[in-house]
Every structure is written in C-alpha cells, then in structure tokens.
Structure 1
C-alpha cells in the first residue's frame, strides 16, 4: 500500500487531504491556537499532541533540537 504525504504543495504530486499547503503562508498553527514562528513550528513538529491534542499528525520528537529548527526554518522559507 502506497502512503500519500500528509502535506503537498499545490501543483506538485498528488493532492493531500489532511494537511495544508506548507509554503510558509500560514500565520498560525493548530487552527489559530499558536502564532507561526520558528520556535512554535519546531515544537509543533516535535510533539504536535502536546500543542493540539487529537491533531492528525505524527510527532517527530526523535529529531535533535538543531534538526527541528532546521526543518522549521526550511518550511518557513517555502513560498
């Protein structure tokens, strides 16, 4: 069974049904519960259930702090 990505950029690959387009346009996380900034985004990636219980996204708490910040900076840079 092929697993589809949770997030996809419009016009790239298969359409996603769960997550929004991750091109740095969002101003908030968790339906407006958290301001969008690199720290909150890194926390969201690391342990989404801590920030928004029931969110349909896995946690990536196995990543180091520098790796989480690097991923958050990368996602924030997408336009």
Structure 2
C-alpha cells in the first residue's frame, strides 16, 4: 500500500494487502478523525476491510473499479447504533 496524508485525509493507492492492515490501523489511530480516500485502490484485503469497519472511518472517495466500490460501500455503509 502506498499512503499519504493530505489535509486530514489518508490517501491510499494500489493494493491494500494483509500486511497493510496493521500500518493502516496505526495510521488511523495516530490521526483520530481522519478520513480515507480509496480512489486509487485496486484491491482491499479482508483484514484491511476489518480495520476500516472497526475504525468507522469516513470514506471521502471510493475505488474507481465498480465491483470493488460496490463491495466496500455495502460493507462500510454507515452503521446505525
């Protein structure tokens, strides 16, 4: 995974692999309230999806691939408490 922070938004690109789950969690934990931009992602491993679900991160941009975007939108839809 390639990631950078741009004005409080974690911009991710490429593949979010299983090895990226812990760094992703740490990056989000270090910056509470950060949002995420997944527009440049082509694949998101289930472990990274779990991080995104657990942190309830605000997704500012979805992947350009329609299948991945649909899968992530369904999984990360705002949860009602």
Fold-level similarity (TM above 0.5):
no
Instruction: Considering fraction of residues, name the structure with more helix.
Output: 2
Higher share in strand: 2
